């Protein structure tokens, strides 16, 4: 009897010990992997349309552009040309590698009177420039001629030059047009298309008359913006719309573009190519060469520069 009782006591002890171990094991769980945190961006935000932002334009580190404050260059009375360093040219793609001598591209804005504003060249001073060129055997050529000379083997006169005007001021028709014609010269006007017909700017009939007389009318954008401060899509719109407006008005393809304020970079140049332009005219100082059709240098002409300075610039490629 005592023996059986001892077996029950022993069995009870074993069951008690086992039960205790099970309880202790359940209360001491091993370390687990951390629970992933809830994403900080929920599905509602993820499914929203992205904000429309301006696409940045990559700046060229070797060009410090400091355009004037006013939208209309004449309001500043200064031209940013003298503060700009020439950019390194890029080799033209799919063009003749034969190098030709550089040609001076003269560039003016307004031919009119305004004391203290160097962008308004008095008509008498402009005529003195044209008279000097005529007396010294210079002959004007178009930008189309220049392009053909650089890249298609066309010959030009020994003393060739190109005459250009930026912005499309009405005095280009009133003063510059008849003076240049007097000496047998023609030129190119880079027009801001939204300004056509505005106060102080060329109207459609004047543009047609100049075009019929052999002048080129080319693009200077729709609104004259700083191209490095607007989006890629806006740049395309400025380039393409201005081109289309002038082509519809004049019935000729527009192939040349002048950069507003002289602001440009490799991204802007590529957009010019994409929208159908063949040439880009800068305000970089010097004569135009064939190294890159989208980095054509020009010779800045301003009020009260004096005939000696004018002569120096048209006679020396690296003035």
State the DSSP string of 229-291: GS-HHHHHHHHHHHHHHHHHHHSS---EEE-GGG---HHHHHHHHHTT-SEEEEEEES-B-SS
More confident residue, 296 or 73: 296
* Containing structural domain, residue 117: 103-313
* Range name among 28-32, 123-127, 308-312, 315-319 with the lowest pLDDT average: 28-32
CATH code of 236's domain: 3.20.20.370
What is the 8-class DSSP label of residue 95? S
The answer to whether residue 266 is domain-embedded is yes
* Cβ neighbour number for residue 184 with a 10 Å cutoff: 10
Separation of CA 91 from chain center: 18
What is the 8-class DSSP label of residue 132? H
End-to-end Cα spacing for the chain: 130
Q: Which residues contact 84 (CB under 8 A, 6 or more apart)?
A: 63, 64, 65, 262, 283, 284, 285
pTM of whole model > 0.75?
A: no
The answer to whether residue 233 is domain-embedded is yes
67 confidence band (pLDDT: 50, 70, 90): very low
182 confidence band (pLDDT: 50, 70, 90): very high
The answer to whether residue 61 is domain-embedded is no
The answer to whether residue 299 is domain-embedded is yes
Average pLDDT over residues 50-55: 31
**CA dist., res. 124 & res. 112, Å (int):** 9
* Domain count within the chain: 1
Helix axes 123-135, 307-315, angle to 10 degrees: 50
**pLDDT per residue as tens digits for the range 245-285:** 999 999 999 999 999 999 999 999 999 999 999 999 999 99
How is residue 169 written in tokens? 């001021």
**CA dist., res. 119 & res. 76, Å (int):** 9
Average pLDDT over residues 82-92: 40
More confident residue, 16 or 174: 174
Average pLDDT over residues 145-163: 97
* Cβ neighbour number for residue 133 with a 10 Å cutoff: 23
The answer to whether residue 36 is domain-embedded is no
């Amino acid at each position: 009897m005592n023996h059986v009782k001892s077996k029950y006591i022993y069995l009870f002890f074993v069951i008690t010990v086992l039960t205790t171990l099970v309880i202790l094991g359940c209360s001491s769980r091993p370390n687990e992997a951390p629970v992933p945190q809830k994403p900080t961006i929920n599905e509602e935000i993820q499914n929203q349309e992205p904000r429309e932002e301006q696409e940045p334009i990559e700046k060229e580190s070797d060009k410090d552009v400091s355009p004037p404050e006013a939208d209309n260059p004449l309001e500043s009375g200064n031209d940013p040309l003298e503060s700009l360093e020439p950019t390194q040219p890029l080799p033209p793609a799919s063009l003749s590698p034969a190098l030709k001598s550089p040609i001076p591209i003269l560039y003016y804005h307004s031919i009119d009177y305004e004391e203290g504003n160097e962008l308004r060249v008095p008509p008498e001073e402009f005529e003195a420039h044209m008279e000097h060129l005529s007396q010294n055997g210079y002959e004007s050529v178009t930008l189309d001629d220049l392009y053909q000379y650089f890249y298609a083997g066309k010959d030009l006169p020994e003393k060739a030059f190109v005459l250009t005007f930026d912005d499309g001021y009405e005095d280009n028709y009133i003063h510059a047009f008849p003076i240049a014609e007097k000496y047998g010269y023609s030129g190119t006007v880079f027009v801001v298309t939204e300004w056509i017909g505005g106060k102080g700017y060329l109207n459609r009939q004047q543009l047609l008359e100049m075009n019929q007389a052999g002048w080129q009318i080319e693009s200077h954008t729709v609104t004259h913006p700083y191209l490095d401060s607007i989006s890629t899509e806006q740049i395309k719109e400025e380039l393409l719309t201005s081109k289309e407006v002038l082509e519809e008005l004049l019935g000729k393809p527009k192939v040349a573009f002048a950069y507003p304020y002289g602001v440009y970079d490799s991204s802007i140049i590529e957009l010019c190519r994409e929208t159908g332009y063949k040439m880009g005219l800068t305000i970089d100082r010097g004569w135009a060469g064939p190294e890159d059709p989208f980095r054509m240098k020009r010779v800045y002409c301003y009020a009260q520069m004096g005939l000696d300075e004018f002569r120096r610039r048209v006679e020396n490629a690296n003035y």
